[in-house]
């Protein structure tokens, strides 16, 4: 584990009150006698009332390939558990005996993760203080993987400690969005998760319409499964992919993620809803990511439908390296800083012109590396629901 380390953290500004009310200098200029009742000096040392920082003792320093921070609470007995789901200010944690405990998050931990939308996420391993029906999360263990997106400039960790991601798209109702699948693949690979592309609702369109897109992803080495919950096609292949793994299921709203999980394991009985007839968009029946054990020796992570997915901390120059089919071609460009848009001697553009690279993938890479990367693109129009929001 290594030696414990001390971390200097900065609290939110509302952690300390104002020492003075109003502008003292202005008050003294208008009325010199006003300063008689004020203290002649104040202590501004590390332990004074004006400090907004605090030193906490943590576990071993996290490695470079993980995120998270394990903060050891001094003098408190804790037990280890896994976060099942986060619902608003409440977090439900399962201990080793199968008991589910309703927990809150310690104030120190919330101060440590000010750059994140919430300090804990489904799949996190945490340390909890308390032995009753409620507890307080005191520490988050380093994550071996985490799927994140940008949420108004803050990091939104959707799920943590996952082996693979089922990226679900629908053949129709709602329409298939290949650009969204591209973003989710990039996010999954960047997080060290294995992406599996699932093209659901295959019974609604002729199979020939899905083969070209499936072929593009299959040629890059991604597992692709064309499936349908009504006909049962592809379900046996998905069950084989599930065994012994922690699998997050992500995709836009209405593609049938919960229906797919019910078909894979009929004992789940997850709530589902029809796609809206007015705009053919899905309705948020799943409002928070949650861990669900299944009968194949692993765990599902059912996530809310996403209509917008902006990558977290995207560096435009590094986007082409995240595309398996573009990465080897980019190394052959004439200029090392080639943007693959207008430069001469661009191997990527030449491959598109020669039919060796899918045009849509090139355009998706350009869009992701451009100004639309931060907003999630023009084709994804709505926001991920807040935890606990119906």
pLDDT (tens digit, 9 = 90+) per residue, 15-28?
545 555 566 677 77
For the beta carbon of residue 309, count every other beta carbon within 10 angstroms.
26
pLDDT in tens, 110-168: 877 777 888 899 999 999 998 778 999 999 999 999 999 888 888 889 999 999 999 99
Lookup result for tokens 């639309």: 372
Per-residue CA distances from 110 to 10, 107, 142, 310 (Å): 11, 5, 16, 23
pLDDT score recorded for residue 381 = 34
Task: In whole angstroms, give the CA distance from residue 131 to residue 227.
Answer: 45
pLDDT score recorded for residue 196 = 96
pLDDT score recorded for residue 356 = 92
pLDDT score recorded for residue 61 = 40
Encoding tokens for residue 224? Answer: 């692709």
Q: Which domains, and CATH codes, for the chain?
A: 60-142 (2.40.50.140), 154-302 (3.40.50.300), 316-373 (1.10.40.50)
Beta-bridge partners for 90: 87
Pairing of strands 90-94, 78-87: antiparallel
pLDDT score recorded for residue 373 = 46
pLDDT score recorded for residue 246 = 94
pLDDT score recorded for residue 182 = 93
User: Nearest 5°: CA angle at 204, between 167 and 250?
Assistant: 15
Packed helices 178-190 and 359-369: angle between N→C axes, nearest 10 degrees: 60
Q: What is the pLDDT along the chain (390 residues), one digit of tens a residue?
A: 455 566 666 655 555 455 555 666 777 777 666 665 666 665 555 444 445 566 666 554 444 334 554 444 455 678 999 999 998 889 999 988 889 999 999 888 887 777 788 889 999 999 999 877 899 999 999 999 999 988 888 888 999 999 999 999 999 888 899 999 999 999 998 888 999 999 999 999 998 899 999 999 999 999 999 999 999 999 999 999 998 899 999 998 888 898 999 999 988 888 776 655 544 454 556 778 889 999 888 899 998 887 778 888 778 888 888 899 999 999 999 998 898 988 999 999 999 999 999 999 999 998 888 754 444 544 433 333 444 333
pLDDT score recorded for residue 92 = 94
Taking the CA atoms of residue 259, residue 263, residue 265 and residue 269 in that order, the dihedral angle to the nearest 10 degrees is 50
For the beta carbon of residue 315, count every other beta carbon within 10 angstroms.
11
Q: Are 312 and 150 in contact (CB under 8 A)?
A: yes
Task: In whole angstroms, give the CA distance from residue 226 to residue 206.
Answer: 12
Per-residue CA distances from 37 to 2, 29, 43, 45, 340 (Å): 53, 15, 17, 23, 69
């Amino acid at each position: 584990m290594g030696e414990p380390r001390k971390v200097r953290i900065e609290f939110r500004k509302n952690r300390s009150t104002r020492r003075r009310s109003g502008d003292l200098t202005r008050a003294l200029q208008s009325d010199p006698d006003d300063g008689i009742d004020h203290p002649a000096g104040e202590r501004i040392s590390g332990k004074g009332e004006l400090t907004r920082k605090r030193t906490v003792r943590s576990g071993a320093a996290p490695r470079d390939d993980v995120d998270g921070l394990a903060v050891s609470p001094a003098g408190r007995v804790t037990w280890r558990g896994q976060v099942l789901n986060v619902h608003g200010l409440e977090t439900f944690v399962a201990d080793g005996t199968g008991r589910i405990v309703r927990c809150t998050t310690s104030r120190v931990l919330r101060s440590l993760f000010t750059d994140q939308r919430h300090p804990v996420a489904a799949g996190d391993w945490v340390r909890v203080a308390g032995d009753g029906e409620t507890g307080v999360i005191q520490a988050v263990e380093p994550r071996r993987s985490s799927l994140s997106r940008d949420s108004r400039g803050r990091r939104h960790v959707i799920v943590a400690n996952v082996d693979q991601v089922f990226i679900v798209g629908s053949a129709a109702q709602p329409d298939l969005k290949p650009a969204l699948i591209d973003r989710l693949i990039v996010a999954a690979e960047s997080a060290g998760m294995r992406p599996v592309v699932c093209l659901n609702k295959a019974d609604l369109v002729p199979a020939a319409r899905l083969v070209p897109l499936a072929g593009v992803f299959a040629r890059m080495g991604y597992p692709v499964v064309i499936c349908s919950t009504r006909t049962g096609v592809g379900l046996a292949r998905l069950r084989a992919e599930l065994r012994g793994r922690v699998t997050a299921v992500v995709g836009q709203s209405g593609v049938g993620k919960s229906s797919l999980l019910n078909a894979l394991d009929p004992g789940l009985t997850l709530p589902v809803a029809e796609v809206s007839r007015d705009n053919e968009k899905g309705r948020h029946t799943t409002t928070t990511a949650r861990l669900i054990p299944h009968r194949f020796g692993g765990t599902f992570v059912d996530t809310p439908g996403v209509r917008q997915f902006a990558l977290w901390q995207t560096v435009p120059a590094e986007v082409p390296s995240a595309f398996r089919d573009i990465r080897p071609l980019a190394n052959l460009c004439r200029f090392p800083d080639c943007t693959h848009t207008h430069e001469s001697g661009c191997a990527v553009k030449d491959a598109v012109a020669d039919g060796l690279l899918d045009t849509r993938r090139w355009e998706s890479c350009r869009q992701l590396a451009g100004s639309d990367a931060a907003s999630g693109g023009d084709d994804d129009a709505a926001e991920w629901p807040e935890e606990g929001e119906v």
